Structure 1
């Protein structure tokens, strides 16, 4: 119980947040690394996965190649990268020591859920809706941007949500190669037998992960076109008593607006 009390006192001590190398500065470092790595992974992985999903081929190969990253521990990849001449362990702007190696390792770690969810999301758009778009004379690009992409966004965002939380939690390993982030506070605490410091760092990482998860869940709900269409409509009594429309027709009307 003393450890929990000491951890709580450590968290409540303002100097541990504001001093150089304290929680605030380390949080900024880790957020910067996490969102940059996620952004790079999204910029590379999402266009490829969405395009392959639209074409309906090549997805099996892309998903399995990206899933190879799951078999390689992120720390092992990071340790390998910092030993190479490039990217090495040098300072990389605001990302600190071994910043580039950390970004590459985390970006590769974020690719599997992004690619898998994006490809599956486009392929799971109902065939009836695709055929309706073809019947309306839409071109391939129009069908993708006006039908497939809006309907697939909830599942795409689910992949982004998963990747975000995973990258945030895993980015603490940067401290093991003297990189940026809250992991530095955790490793320093356990290295000096100041367990309350290490525990406090772990609590902060977990708390921020919960906040990011909630924010991503809200964003995922906002990009779902069908619930937004339902929420934005105010049916009259006759519509309420009438037979509900099929989901396919409702979705087609939503994305066609």
Structure 2
């Protein structure tokens, strides 16, 4: 019954017009998500490339990523909102960037570390400099895991950007907040469905972009390495 009511809420023409309509809220939600993922990428990708290429700071990376993952986004948004004297946009964007950095950083770092050392040694033997090896060998081979980190971050941000409604921003979290306040669970379910559809749509777009950017041979090689590693580890355990 509640799902039928949610569908009725989604199809109600009243919710599709005006400044607080579903299309407007989808657009605002999407804008914050894209801004957060872009900002996190500008921080995490260069840092992950540096750490993965040089091998320095790996332990610090793991500890910092775990610490950032443990931060409650709603609490961080509220704290930044109060510290910044009610500046909504900046407080929400900073909180979402903090949320998106760990998966992108981990994907970039893991992608560089996952590159076959034989390929890197061959590039070194050909006389390539460190920067040439990074941009011509390591980064192209790291793209599958890097894109995977971007997809993971995007899904997390889309699901979490709803907290922006707590500081007055008209994202898709507004139907959740309004519905819970008046016990209108059809509105809550309808808002949750919209968030899920947006997350799935963006994930499919990123998957398509990954297929266009990443050569098929690299995708197959990455999948093969992921399948072989658990088998090799299991064989080592059996021998021990």
The bucket for the TM-score relative to the shorter chain is 0.7 to 0.9
Q: Does 1:112 align with 2:106?
A: no
The structural deviation recorded for 1:157 is: 0.6
Shift of 1:190: 2.2
Q: Which has the larger radius of gyration?
A: 1
Indicate if the aligned counterparts of 2:29 and 2:161 stay in contact, CA closer than 8 A: yes
Give the corresponding residue for 1:29: 28
Q: CA RMSD in A?
A: 1.8
Any idea what SS the aligned residue of 1:193 has? Answer: coil
Instruction: Single out whichever of 35-44 and 8-17 deviates more from structure 2.
Output: 8-17
- What are the equivalent positions in structure 2 for 1:117-196 lying under 5 Å apart? 117-196=107-186
Q: Is contact 1:113–1:162 with CA below 8 Å preserved after alignment?
A: yes
Q: Deviations over 1:201-240 (max 9, x none)?
A: 111111111111212222223332343799xxxxxxxxxx
Q: Which residue of 1 aligns with 2:86?
A: 89
Gaps (5+ residues) in structure 2?
226-240
CA distance in structure 1 between the aligned counterparts of 2:177 and 2:17, rounded to whole angstroms: 19
Cα separation, 2, equivalents of 1:66 and 1:123? 17
The size of the alignment, in residue pairs, is: 221
Q: Deviations over 1:54-77 (max 9, x none)?
A: 112212212321321111111111
Unaligned runs of 5+ in 1: 91-97, 231-246, 248-257
Bigger Cα displacement from structure 2, 15-24 vs 25-34:
15-24
Provide the C-alpha distance between the structure 1 equivalents of 2:170 and 2:18, rounded to a whole number of angstroms.
16
Correspondence for 2:92: 102
CA distance in structure 1 between the aligned counterparts of 2:170 and 2:15, rounded to whole angstroms: 17
2:232: which partner in 1?
none
C-alpha distance in 2 between matches for 1:73 and 1:52:
26
Aligned to 1:9: 8
Q: 1:171: how far off?
A: 0.3
Q: What corresponds to 2:76 in structure 1?
A: 77
Contact 2:44/2:104 (<8 A) preserved: yes
- TM-score, normalised by the number of residues in structure 2: 0.86
